[in-house]
Structure formats: structure tokens, C-alpha cells
């Protein structure tokens, strides 16, 4: 039988301790990467003003907007991967004539996407500097909303469509407290259609590119009703109404939304003033990134400007507005 001397026992113990510490460190880094998902550098209170941008590359706005054009300091913005010290430097991106001509969507052209770096550079290009950018909701439900007068978000006279709730209501409740009518949608949380509060109406319904019923959605089995954006607006009687904020956190169904709207009813986007969306593009899969690249440029052709974005483990939280 092998017997360890006291010295060898100590070395063996130290070796195991070093391995344990290494594994624990890697686990903590991964946990921190998942936890830090705030794309805007927002304070964690409802309707409070944004903090100044952190050194980790968040895109909070700390200077007044003038004409909506990107500021000169943005030519060397940074977009940090969440929970990692290294930052990716974002160089200035010159817009093509087609990109700038947002008043003529029919002439919109999408430049070729050649690399993931190019994709993330585009997401790092802040096109509109919001002077009054605020956080609504807390934790994972927190979203950035621009309250500049150009967007006309008026308490008592604003409408919010919120797709993807699960059981996280903080954004919806905060927008309702602000004075907006909120229409919330999610077929996976097991809740029936109901009036959550005077300003929040919930529908057990998901969004997609066709109207159908799915038997498996979000890792759950059941009968989940899905419908198109155009049909949902008709259901609400809002086909010609202004949507002040369109929030979408629908775990990859955002591509179906884009596919349907741009193919069948792009003019409906002209009634939308702000879009807050989580994009599930993966870190390195260029084919997936090309789809979002195309839709991001098509949004630009319809007058939307990117106000903030941040990467977080294979996805990006982004906010666009039509000032």
C-alpha cells in the first residue's frame, strides 16, 4: 500500500486546493457573465435616470442631444463582453448613401456582412443620443426608454406592447405606473387572459411569422397560441394607432417577427416610436448574424436609429427609436 509522507500529503492537499480554486474561479466568471446583462448602464430603480456610462462600455447617454446625430466622441466607443475585463474597440462606421436615405425605404440596400467584428461594430454605433434615457423595471426585466420630447411619450397618453413576460412584470408595472396602457403577451407562463391592473392587460399569446398553435415552446410542452403582429394589432384595435414602445424578449422568435413584418406589413413599423429587443445571434455564427444585420439595416431605412446596445453571451440588448 502506498503511504504518503507528511510532505507529500501537504503537496497533494495543496494540489487539490489549487484545482478547486481554479474550477470555482471559472464558475464565478461564467455566473458573472450571465448576471451582468444590463445593456444600457441603467440604475436599478423604476423610472430613475441613467447613470453615466461605466468603464465596461455600456451605452448610457450622459450628454444632451442636439440634432440626433452621433457625437464625435463615438468614433472610438467600446462594447465590452459582460463580465470580462477585455473590451472590443469599436471604430467609426461611415454610412452609405443608401443607409442615410431613410425617407425612401424602397431604395434601401443592405451592405454585405463580412465578419462578426463588422456585425458588432454596427451594434456599437450609437446613432441617436438620447438626453433623457431612463430605466423601467428591475433586474432581468429592466429596459431602457428614451423620454426625449421627440418621442412624445406622455403619461396618460401612451401605449406599450410587451412580448415575452414569463413571470417578470417589473417593466410592465413600471410603464403602467408611468401612465401608459400596457398590453402584455406570453403563452408560456400558464396564465389566462386577464386584467393584471388598471393599465396592464395580459394575453396568453405569442408572436411569430404565422398564426398557429405550437406543442413545444421555451422548453415547455402544451398548446401555445402564436399569432402575427398584424393580427395582434387588429385584435387590439390598434392597426392605425401609435405604439410608443414595442418591447420584445421572446427567445429567438424576434426573427420570425422581423421576417413577417418586413415581408407583409412594413408600414406598421411607421407607427412604432421605440423598440427594445433582445437579439439572440450567438457570438460567432455569422449566418445568424447576417439575418439580424439585414433587419437592422431595414429598420434604419424606415427611420429607426440605434440608441444603445450591449453584448451578453451570444445575445444583444438593443434599443432603437424613430425621433
pLDDT, one tens digit per residue, over 192-239 is: 999 999 999 999 999 999 998 877 676 677 788 999 999 999 999 999
Which helix (H) or strand (E) covers residue 133, if one does? strand 133-136
Decide: 269 and 80 in contact? Cβ < 8 Å: no
Q: At what angle do helices 254-264 and 286-301 cross, to 10 degrees?
A: 40
DSSP symbols for 263-276: HH-GGGGGGB-EEE
DSSP line for 41-63: ---SSTTEEPPPPPTT------S
pTM attached to this predicted model: 0.70
Burial (CB count <10 Å: 0-12, 13-18, 19+), residue 108:
middle
Domain locations along the chain: 33-321
244-252: average pLDDT: 91
Write out pLDDT tens, residues 53-69: 332 223 332 232 333 33
Cα(80)–Cα(312) distance, integer angstroms: 9
113: CB partners within 8 A, 6+ apart: 119, 286, 289, 290, 293
* Helix ranges, 189-315 (H): 229-236, 254-264, 286-301
Output the CATH code of domain 33-321.
3.40.50.150
- Identify which has the larger pLDDT, 251 or 237: 237
* Residue 186 binned pLDDT confidence (cut-offs 50, 70, 90): very high
For 32-49, what is each residue's pLDDT tens digit?
333 323 334 333 333 433
Contacts of 224 (CB under 8 A, 6+ apart): 187, 188, 206, 213, 214, 215, 217
The bridge status of strand 159-163 relative to strand 181-185 is parallel
pLDDT at res. 215? 74
Residue ranges of alpha helices (H) inside 151-252 are: 170-178, 229-236
Q: Alpha helix (H) ranges present in 124-169?
A: none
β-sheet with 305-311: strand ranges across? 194-197, 200-203, 181-185, 159-163, 245-248, 274-280, 315-321, 305-311
> How many Cα atoms within 13 Å fall on the side-chain side of residue 313?
13
User: Nine-digit cell at 93?
Assistant: 462606421
Give CA–CA dist 30/27, Å, rounded: 5
Residue 104 has what pLDDT? 38
Mean per-residue pLDDT over the chain, rounded:
74
DSSP state, residue 15: H
Tell me: pLDDT of 143 over 80: yes
* pLDDT classification of 248: cutoffs 50, 70, 90: very high
Amino acid at each position: 500500500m502506498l503511504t504518503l509522507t507528511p510532505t507529500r500529503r501537504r503537496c497533494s492537499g495543496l494540489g487539490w486546493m489549487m484545482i478547486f480554486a481554479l474550477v470555482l474561479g471559472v464558475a464565478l466568471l461564467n455566473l458573472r457573465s450571465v448576471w451582468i446583462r444590463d445593456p444600457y448602464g441603467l440604475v436599478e430603480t423604476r423610472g430613475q435616470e441613467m447613470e453615466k456610462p461605466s468603464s465596461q462600455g455600456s451605452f448610457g447617454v450622459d450628454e444632451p442631444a442636439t440634432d440626433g446625430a452621433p457625437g464625435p466622441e463615438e468614433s472610438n466607443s467600446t462594447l465590452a463582453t459582460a463580465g470580462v475585463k477585455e473590451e472590443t474597440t469599436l471604430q467609426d462606421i461611415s454610412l452609405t448613401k443608401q443607409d442615410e436615405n431613410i425617407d425612401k425605404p424602397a431604395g434601401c440596400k443592405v451592405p454585405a456582412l463580412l465578419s462578426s467584428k463588422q456585425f458588432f461594430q454596427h451594434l456599437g454605433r450609437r446613432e441617436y443620443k438620447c438626453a433623457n434615457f431612463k430605466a423601467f423595471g428591475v433586474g432581468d426585466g429592466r429596459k431602457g426608454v428614451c423620454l426625449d420630447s421627440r418621442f412624445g411619450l406622455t403619461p396618460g397618453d401612451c401605449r406599450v406592447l410587451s412580448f415575452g413576460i414569463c413571470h417578470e412584470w417589473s417593466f410592465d408595472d413600471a410603464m403602467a405606473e408611468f401612465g401608459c396602457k400596457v398590453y402584455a403577451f406570453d403563452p408560456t407562463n400558464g396564465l389566462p387572459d386577464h386584467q393584471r391592473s388598471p393599465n396592464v392587460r395580459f394575453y396568453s399569446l405569442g408572436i411569430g411569422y404565422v398564426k398557429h398553435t405550437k406543442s413545444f415552446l421555451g422548453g415547455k410542452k402544451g398548446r401555445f397560441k402564436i399569432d402575427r403582429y398584424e393580427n395582434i394589432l387588429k385584435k387590439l384595435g390598434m392597426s392605425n394607432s401609435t405604439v410608443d414602445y414595442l418591447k420584445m424578449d421572446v427567445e429567438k422568435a424576434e426573427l420570425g417577427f422581423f421576417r413577417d413584418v418586413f415581408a407583409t406589413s412594413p408600414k406598421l413599423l411607421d407607427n412604432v416610436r421605440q423598440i427594445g429587443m433582445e437579439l439572440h445571434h450567438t457570438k460567432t455564427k455569422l449566418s445568424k448574424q447576417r439575418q439580424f444585420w439585414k433587419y437592422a439595416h431595414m429598420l434604419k431605412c424606415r427611420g429607426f436609429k440605434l440608441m444603445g446596445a450591449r453584448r451578453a453571451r451570444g445575445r444583444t440588448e438593443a434599443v432603437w427609436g424613430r425621433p
